[in-house]
Every structure is written in C-alpha cells, then in structure tokens.
Structure 1
Amino acid sequence: MQVLTPTAQEYRRRICLAMNYISAHLDADLSLDDIARHAAFSPFHFHRIFKAVTGETVAEFTRRLRLETAANQLLTQRRQPITAIAHACGFSSSQNMAKAFRLHFGRTPTAYRNSKIGNISSNPEDALAAAVDYSSRNQPMRSDMKADIQTLPDYDVAFVRKLGPYGKEICEAAFGELMAWAGPKGLLGRETMLGVYWDNPEVTPPEKCRTDACLTVPAGFPRERPMSFQRIPGGPHAVCHFEIGPDGFGKAWEDAFAWFVAGGYECADRPCFERYGASPEHNGGLWSLDICIPLKQKV
C-alpha cells in the first residue's frame, strides 16, 4: 500500500472536495476560482495540483463528467428532451452538447439513446420485458435476493477515494487505508461501512471510475485532517439485500438492476452504494450487503 505524506493526504482530501463540488454543480458556470475557493486552494496552483492528483485538468474533468452524466440521462430518462438534458448538464444548448458528445462518444446524443438502454436493449419496452424475463435465463436472478423500497437516512462518513477499475484491487486498497485510520479511533465494529461508486463503468473509462470507501462517524465526531469527510444523502432508495461469496458482486449488481428496471423505477442523479453487514469471517464465508440505488423523487 502506498504511504502518502501528510501534505499529499491533505491535497487529496481537498481535491475530493473539489471533485464533489463540481459533481454537484454541473449545471452551473463554475469558474476555476470558485472551485479552488471551495476546496481551500489558491487559484494560482490549484489547476496543477488537481491534474497531479486526478490525471486531468479541471476543465477536462468537468467536461467529461458533464458528457458522462448526459449519456447516463439519455439512457435512464428516455422521455426527457435532449435540450433539457443539455441544460441540466451545463451546456448552453443542445447543439453545443451534440458537438462535444459526438467527439467524445463517436455518435450523436440521439443515436446514442437509440443504440441501447444500459446494456440491455434499444427499446424501453423490450428492456422492461427483458428484465422481467431475467429469471428465465441460464443464470437466473438470485432466489435469496430481498428487495424493497426504503427511506434511508443521511450518512455522515469518513472516506478514502481511489480512481481505477471497479473491483477487488481498488476496493481493498481504499478500505485498507480507511481501516488503518479507523482502527485506532475505535470506530471499527461500531459504525457502518459503505462503498460508494460514482460512475457508470459502461460510460466512464475504467481508469477514471471513482470508488469511495466510507465509514459512518458518530454525531459530533471531529473532522480531523487529512481524512476526508462527506455526507451521503438519504431519501428513497431501492435496497437489494444479498448474502454472497467474494466472486458474487458482479452478478449481485446485475440482479439488483434487473429488479430495479422491472419495477419501472427511475434513478436519481446520485451515486449508488453498497452497505455492508456481516463480513465473511463472521458469516460463514459470505458477504452480507445491501446494494442501494437512489430513486428520483416525484415532484
């Protein structure tokens, strides 16, 4: 595990603040000064530090995130006009988004929307039928999956963020670093662990996907540096519970979203997360976890 100096840890903490601020304000005309100020950086060196930590300039990260958010909305909000999606993602017009979208994805927004819905089908009715019929495939939906709609609380968490392909290596690195910090604080075994996945790996390049290893902290817990802290919004979520082995995570996510699509739910523009219960050493070799998908609230 790479050991970061205190200064490097502090830089990473503040860059996470900047990334989260950009994610929450994609529809705004953010200036470099605004973002730097929110992350407590001097604007003079901020853009260089941001690129050193993330591998992208602030402008590149913002543009990519806007385009990937638009791509996800094209697939999940199929009745939403493209112009409305363009404005919601910070583009001045649908024409400007279309030009940038084609350069990034190699096709127009309309062609992208018509090409697929997630990784299932190009037709929403076909997609729903496919999800409903999921249990009749060669790899049926887990009979032991328990799924319902729950109103979750806000989670105040300490977190460690890693960039890279979703999977065991990234998760172990992030949670290893988090637990090394949390153990001496007496938090392990008392608080809830969450894994937050910000990006859609079918849209975002694997090396750019963001994983947050999170641990809830008690009310009033000091926000001591260089650890990063954030609030994960609660509200209505589709919650799918699984008891799985270490190789069952991918299938669990497929089953959770098949149930989600079959129910006709609409995902909010916030990251999904895993909420962990008993670990394998205390649960007969199985992970106990919930996959939590935020739902768009009806106005």
Structure 2
Amino acid sequence: MIAQQAIGLIAISALASACAPELYKRDGIHPAHIQKRQHIPNVVEDTRGWTFDQSEEWNTQSPGWGACFAGTQQSPIDLQTSWGFAKSSPPVFNYPKALKGPLNNWDFGPQFTLAAVADDNTTEASIQFSHDGVEETAYFRSWHTHAPAEHTIDGYAPRAELHYVHYDDAGIPRAVVGFFVDQATAENPSSGSAFYKQLESLALPDIFNNQTIPEITLDLNLAISEVNDYKNFWTYKGSLTTPPCLEGLRWFVSKDIIYLSDAQLESLLKVSTFGARPVHRVWGHQVNA
C-alpha cells in the first residue's frame, strides 16, 4: 500500500509539473531564485535543466519525457493556409477586463500568472470550446511568449508567439490559445499593439535578474481584438511544447497576427532568448477536425 501511495504521489507530482512553461527552468536554479517565486500558486520548479536547442534529446533526459520524441500529437506544427481554417466557432472567451497577477520571466521571455484561488483549479477567466463533440470549459492560468514563433505559417516563422494556457478543473493542462506576434511593416502598418502597451510602463523582468513584479493588471481581451476577434484560426490536438510534452491539449492558433511597433518588438526581444521548439510532422493532430 505504501509503495502504491508513493507511486501515486510521484505520478501526481509529474502531472503537476506538466502544466506550462512557468514550471520549467533551465540550469542555474538557486535558492534565491526559487524563493522569489514561492508566492506564485501551483508553481513547481524543475532543476534538471533543458534547453530548446537540445529538444531532440529531451526524451533522454527523463523517463517521463518519452512523448517528446515518440508522441503522435506533438506541438508545434507548420500550419498551412491551403488547409483552410476551422469551420467551427472560435472558443467563447470569458475574460474579465482586469486580471491581476505577477509578471516574471520564465528564462525565455515574459510570463504572467493569474492569481488563483487557493485549493481551487478554477480561475475567474475561462474559455468554452468543443472537443470531439463535447463542450468543455478550461480555465486561464498564465500567458507566456516564445521568440521566435514556435508554429509556422507555410514555413514562415513570425518574430514571436504568445500563448494563453488553460487548465481543466482537475488542474491538468487542457487548451492553449496562440497568437502570432510580428513586426509592423509597410504592408501591415501598426502604431503598436494595444495588448503590449499594457506592459510598456513596466521594467520587464529579463532573463538574468530572476525578478518578479508582484502584481500587474491586464486585459486579455485586447489580444483577441487585435486578431479580428479570433474569427480565422486553426485548431488541432497537440501537446505542451516543453518537457514532458504532455499530449491531449486542444490548440487554437489565430491566422491573424498581432503587430508590434519597432520599439515594442525591441522591448520584447531584449528580455527574451531563443525559445522555440522545432515544428513536428502532422500525424495524429486532426487539424481543423
């Protein structure tokens, strides 16, 4: 019985770690680093160490990371415009206009975590969507950025990608809402992203200082508005893009792009470093199904 309980605790611990990039740190974790993050709920630090440029070897770094190499629904993928877009309705976004939580750096770029109710896997922000014909609700837990973008569009990788990560009421990662982020051009002019302007007055935590801004207030809806209310999107069955590469997530990725001004993009890249997993061949992803 004791052995079974121990195995169960290990399994729960592994699942808790399979939440989102905020739970995984590269080499160099030290007590001060962990101490500064202790106030963030549901955060489990991983001290084993991994990098994106060694992603093909993740399965050799932990017995629980086998899906990173052998999984059939691994993310990201190259999204093809020739496929068309999802014919289903976009997720129903139930995001309050003012969400409060800490802002830190997950060693690859900015990350915001919603202050959750203790002992409750639900939050005040959620999405509703259909998965295999079943209506589901998933609760927003955090957003983070990758630079460059992890997904590609017909082989093109925008400068960055923004992920809204959602969990089910059991505390398991369930859905990711993705946004491409790119530089404004003459063909796609922009005076700046309204979503990113919420961060402009902040000294963003960078990849070196391990600092956390204890509380900021954000409106997640601004990003939705900037991509034409998420009317054109791809959806597929995928995975976390970081170890342990947990599969079974529902992905949504907007075709429309959030365009940053030059100053905004420079600000983002200054506090980022390479954080993109290579795209995977489409296999069991059931794109737009």
Range into which the TM-score falls when normalised by the shorter chain: under 0.3
**Which one has a bigger Cα radius of gyration?**
1
Using structure 2 for the length normalisation, give the TM-score: 0.24
Determine which structure has the larger helix proportion and give its number. Answer: 1
Higher relative contact order (CA 8 A, sep 6+): 2
